[in-house]
Amino acid sequence: MFKRCVQFLMIAFTASAFAQATAVKAPDVLVKDVTEEVLTTLRTDPAIKSGDAIKTAELVETRVLPHFNFTRMTALAMGKEWRATTPEQKKLLTDEFRTLLVRTYSNALISYKSQTIDYKPFKMGATDTDVTVRTQINQANGRPIPLDYALEKQDGGWKVYDVMVAGVSLVTNYRETFAAEIRAGGVDGLLKALRAKNASTTPAPTAAASK
Amino acid sequence: MTKTNKQSNLNLRAVLAATAAATVLAGCATSGNPKDPIEGYNRAMFSFNETVDKAVIKPVAQGYNYVTPQPVQTGVSNFFGNIADIWTGVNNLLQGKPGDALSDAGRVLVNSTIGILGLFDVATPMGLEKHEEDFGQTLGRWGVGDGAYVVLPILGPRTVRDTVGLAADIYTDPVRDADAHRGYRNTAIALRAIDTRADLLKAEDALEAAALDKYAYVRDAYLQHRRSAIYDGNPPRQADDAALPSLPADNLTSTGPDEASWNLLLVGQSDILDVKALETQEPAEAAAPAEQ
């Protein structure tokens, strides 16, 4: 009886360990799965193909964004200015920056939806918590564009905190602009500039879809 | 690479004139960015270039895009790309990468013959990857620093180092060298320029959507892109970047993996990490590690 209990427990532990191990997707698998899923939807969904902006935004919101850490991204873009902001400002900045990044990313997705993506070979150590997954957009005309994702491991799985297009980080590329805005008008000045930018191109994916 | 080569003698003179003008104007307006000491001049030249682009170059590129079937455009890109591979190979050799240089030479050989004078890129599917190298990258590889950021007339963003590199690129440009047939040569240079510009039409839309300040966005993207190119896509983390992954932890123990676990405890939420939830918990979370 006791032996059976132990056996049962051992099996249960093994099973739960296994379940936990597979619950967190490897970063390269995650990037590939999300990319392929989104591209397939972009190419096949009749509403999105006909330029439905709301549907496109929904797709990005539900499929892509849960895998992004926008607080970390905003901190990266702010650089050393981040420490001088209040928690309230951090939240507002993150919200605005999120809107801006999502719009940029949706635009890029839509203009490149007919291209194929290559996933570069990926290696990581078992204990790594910060990795880069490299992909490449192959264009029908023109050179292939490297598109890399930096991810960090969190309890909820791997989260993207930077996207690099042809070696250009979509996040840190804002650092000088942000710093200049802060020098000119403080953090509130930067917030104002971000709001103005987001308002000028709202609603986000309409512009993208009409392209 | 083709972009850097697209202009000829005339523009070499323009480059020199611009560099001279830049030096004269160096004392003018600046916002204190150490990489961009002549920002006043650069901004003026940037908007001049934008105006010329909007009025002439972009419409021509759009027209070209519209009337030229995709296979023909690809053929044109491949043809000039094949010529560019020669100089790429030379630069790879100069950068101490004989393996890459050999592969570039192989590309030229294969594409010029089987690929019918370079119109078809048959080397890439054969596994001979295309590289993009120019003399500015070679100088960077040799340890020459960026120097100041300079916006050249028509040619656009460069650094002082890349301007020197550009002069070498233009000097050695095989297309420019086709002196015997001046008419063909100029047509070829113009076609290459238009083809390059047409390739960039898509990227431009994304740029408009992204930039808070288009001038600064282009400048910083150029500098980042060049840095990455010098290291063939694997640049070491910059000093300020290196500080950043740990930066949130340094200051607040926020936004890193630590934040996630703290917030999970505080929010009592064990499934997907909600960014919104994280943010609202920020004050509590900032205090929590201190109490441990």
Confidence band for A184, pLDDT divided at 50, 70 and 90: very high
A12 versus B223: the higher-pLDDT residue is B223
Confidence band for A23, pLDDT divided at 50, 70 and 90: low
Torsional sign, CA B138, B139, B145, B149: negative
Specify the pLDDT at position A210.
38
- pLDDT(B11) > 80: no
Specify the pLDDT at position A51.
72
Q: Which of A30-39, A60-69, B202-211 has the lowest mean pLDDT?
A: B202-211
List the one residue out of A135, A178, A104, A167 whose CA is nearest residue B221.
A167
Confidence band for A16, pLDDT divided at 50, 70 and 90: low
Interface of B with A in 115-134 (CB under 8 A): 130, 132
Q: Which of A41-45, A62-66, A142-146 has the lowest mean pLDDT?
A: A142-146
What DSSP string runs through B2-66?
Answer: HHHHS--HHHHHHHHHHHHHHHHHTTS---S-TT-TTHHHHHHHHHHHHHHIIIIIHHHHHHHHH
Q: What are phi and psi of B18, to 5 degrees?
A: -65, -40
Specify the pLDDT at position B242.
39
Residues of chain B with pLDDT > 70, as a percent, come to 69
* pLDDT, mean of residues B270-275: 32
Adjacent-strand bridge partners of A148: A134, A164
Distances in whole angstroms, Cα of residue A91 to Cα of each of A19, A61, A71, B181, B279: 35, 18, 8, 63, 6
Specify the pLDDT at position A49.
78
From B110's Cα to the closest Cα of chain A, the distance in A is 18
Specify the pLDDT at position A115.
80
Specify the pLDDT at position B30.
54
- pLDDT(A180) > 60: yes
User: Which residue in the set A76, A156, A168 is minimally distant from B260, CB to CB?
Assistant: A156
* pTM (predicted TM-score): 0.75
Write out chain A residues lying below 8 Å of B248, CB-based: 72, 75, 82
B197 versus A23: the higher-pLDDT residue is B197
* pLDDT, mean of residues B217-226: 94
- In single-letter form, the type of residue at position B22 comes to A
Specify the pLDDT at position A67.
93
Do A167 and B244 count as a contact with CB atoms less than 8 A apart? no
- pLDDT(B241) > 70: no
Confidence band for A1, pLDDT divided at 50, 70 and 90: low
Interface of A with B in 172-211 (CB under 8 A): 172-177, 180-181, 183, 193-194, 197, 201, 207-208, 211
- Does ipTM come in above 0.90? no
Specify the pLDDT at position A48.
79
- Per-residue tokens: A158: 């791997």
* pLDDT, mean of residues A137-158: 85
List the one residue out of A131, A139, A191 whose CA is nearest residue B245.
A131
B3 versus B82: the higher-pLDDT residue is B82
Distance between CA atoms of residues B1 and B135, nearest Å = 10
User: Which residue in the set A94, A129, A146 is minimally distant from B279, CB to CB?
Assistant: A94
Do A91 and B251 count as a contact with CB atoms less than 8 A apart? no
Specify the pLDDT at position A196.
93
* pLDDT, mean of residues B192-211: 84
- 3-class DSSP state of A159: strand
Q: Pairing between strand B149-152 and A168-169? A: unpaired
Any residues with CB less than 8 A from the CB of B78 and at least 6 apart, and which?
Answer: B111, B115, B118, B119, B120, B121
- pLDDT(B193) > 70: yes
- Per-residue tokens: B2: 């083709």
- In single-letter form, the type of residue at position A75 comes to A
